[in-house]
Amino acid sequence: MEGYRSFLFFLVSSLLFGFLGVIFVLVWVLYWREGLAWNGGAAEFNLHPLLVITGFVFIEGIAIIVYRLPWTWKCSKLLMKCIHAGLHLVAIVLVIVAMVAVFEYHNSFKIPNMFSLHSWVGLTVVILFFLQLVMSIFVFLLPIASDSLRAALMPIHGYMGLLLYGSIIATCLMGITEKLIFTLKEPPYSKLPPEAIFVNTLGLLIVVFGGLVIWIATRPAWKRPPNYDVKAPLPNGGNPTDTADNTTVTDHKPDLELNSDAARKRNLQLDEAGERSTM
Ligand code: HEM
């Protein structure tokens, strides 16, 4: 892999910031707030930030960069698609539980629903995320769609994924700010008590983690090289399936082919043409 050391640096840093974010939100709700419970009260509300930050920020961040891990490049594309889709699925399940928790909490205290910008952006993101997941399963995971449809939809899939992820980070920051303004009274948020400093730091951790994930995901040199199931043109202009026994040339020399400069150049060309499936 080109720039392997720098990739490792970004990967380890992102994991560190991500873990810290999850630990900070846990400490926030257990030490500063009312803990965790499913009782319609404040402890149930606390499941909302805990589950969205664990599911929608951390696990979803890993789902976005899982194809970039060079150690997985020897795994079949189908296996990696299942892992990618599986991580998205875990994320959405945690987020749905988080949504139920906050709506139940609002209803039991007769707090109006869906009044804030946070809730508007948040619900929109959840609905679009769900639609993107279902669409991607049908187009990229199940063997139904044609190669041309996959190629046409891949740039939209990648763009929407990163747009939604950026919106998730923004929604979390709005939610954190709201919660601090609503709950910190004596002393108020404006006096910057220790809880405010701690939770502001949580917000920074989330931003840095999100930034690192998006950086890793958008480096063309760190993308998974073309796979066996991609009909990449050969350097001599031939078709990989044009062999006597109808096996691809990459079937014979996978490691050499996957790591060669030629493969990487082809890879970048395919990216430009939006032809490489990375669902
Ligand atoms: C409420 C979504 C992250 C704090 C809500 C509501 C939704 C939502 C749809 C409306 C519930 C209702 O009206 O009954 C999301 C999504 C998030 C997220 C999709 C992540 C991407 C967070 C985080 C916090 C938070 C990290 C931090 C504590 C709040 C608060 C409310 C709320 C205080 C109640 C006030 C309001 O309706 O705006 N959230 N949320 N949220 N959320 Fe979040």
- Tell me what the mean pLDDT of segment 201-227 comes to: 95
| Contacts of 33 by beta carbon, 8 Å cutoff, 6+ apart | 42, 43, 46, 183
Q: What percent of the chain has pLDDT over 90?
A: 79
Burial 101-120 (b: 16+ CB within 10 A, else e): bbebbbeeeeeeeeeeebbe
Atom of ligand 1 nearest to the CA of 103: 14
Q: Name the closest-CA residue to atom 7, ligand 1.
A: 119
Atom of ligand 1 nearest to the CA of 176: 27
pLDDT at 262: 52
Pick from 28-32, 95-99, 188-192, 267-271: least confident: 267-271
| Contacts of 214 by beta carbon, 8 Å cutoff, 6+ apart | 64, 162, 165, 166
Q: Name the closest-CA residue to atom 41, ligand 1.
A: 175
**Ligand 1 center from residue 202 Cα (angstroms):** 16
CA pair distance 7, 13, nearest whole angstrom: 10
Nearest to 277 by CA among 154, 149, 152, 141: 154
- Tell me what the mean pLDDT of segment 214-229 comes to: 86
pLDDT digits (tens, 9 = 90+) for 243-262: 322 323 233 333 334 444 55
- Tell me what the mean pLDDT of segment 7-18 comes to: 98
| Mean pLDDT computed over every residue of the chain | 86
CA pair distance 157, 64, nearest whole angstrom: 11
Nearest to 117 by CA among 156, 170, 182, 64: 170
**Ligand 1 center from residue 102 Cα (angstroms):** 7
pLDDT at 265: 52
ipTM: 0.93
SS3 string, 23-55, reads HHHHHHHHHHCCCCCCCCCHHHHCHHHHHHHHH
| pLDDT reading at 14 higher than 70 | yes
In 192-253, where does DSSP find H-type helix? Answer: 194-217, 249-252
CA pair distance 99, 101, nearest whole angstrom: 5
CB 102 within 8 A of CB 123: no
CA separation, residue 79 to residues 45, 70, 87, 213, 277 (Å): 36, 14, 12, 22, 14
Question: Ligand 1, residues 113, 119, 169: which to mutate, most atoms within 8 A of Cβ?
Answer: 119
pLDDT digits (tens, 9 = 90+) for 54-64: 999 999 999 99
How does residue 226 score in pLDDT terms, banded at 50, 70 and 90?
confident
How does residue 264 score in pLDDT terms, banded at 50, 70 and 90?
low
Nearest to 131 by CA among 67, 101, 88: 88
* DSSP per-residue string spanning 48-111: HHHHHIIIIIIIHHHHHHGGG-GGGTTS-HHHHHHHHHHHHHHHHHHHHHHHHHHHHHHHHTTP
Question: Tell me, which fold does domain 4-224 have in CATH?
Answer: Four Helix Bundle (Hemerythrin (Met), subunit A) (1.20.120)
The domains of the chain are located at: 4-224, 226-279
Q: Name the closest-CA residue to atom 2, ligand 1.
A: 122
Atom of ligand 1 nearest to the CA of 172: 26
Q: How many of the other CB atoms lie within 10 Å of CB of 85?
A: 16
pLDDT digits (tens, 9 = 90+) for 131-188: 999 999 999 999 999 999 999 999 999 999 999 999 999 999 999 999 999 999 999 9
**Ligand 1 center from residue 61 Cα (angstroms):** 19
Question: Ligand 1, residues 22, 45, 48: which to mutate, most atoms within 8 A of Cβ?
Answer: 48
- Tell me what the mean pLDDT of segment 79-83 comes to: 97
Q: Which residues sit with their C-beta closer than 6 Å to ligand 1?
A: 48-49, 52-53, 56, 99, 102-103, 106, 113-114, 116, 118-119, 122-123, 125-126, 168, 171-172, 175-176, 178-179
* DSSP per-residue string spanning 136-177: HIIIIISTTS-HHHHHHHHHHHHHHHHHHHHHHHHHHHHHHH
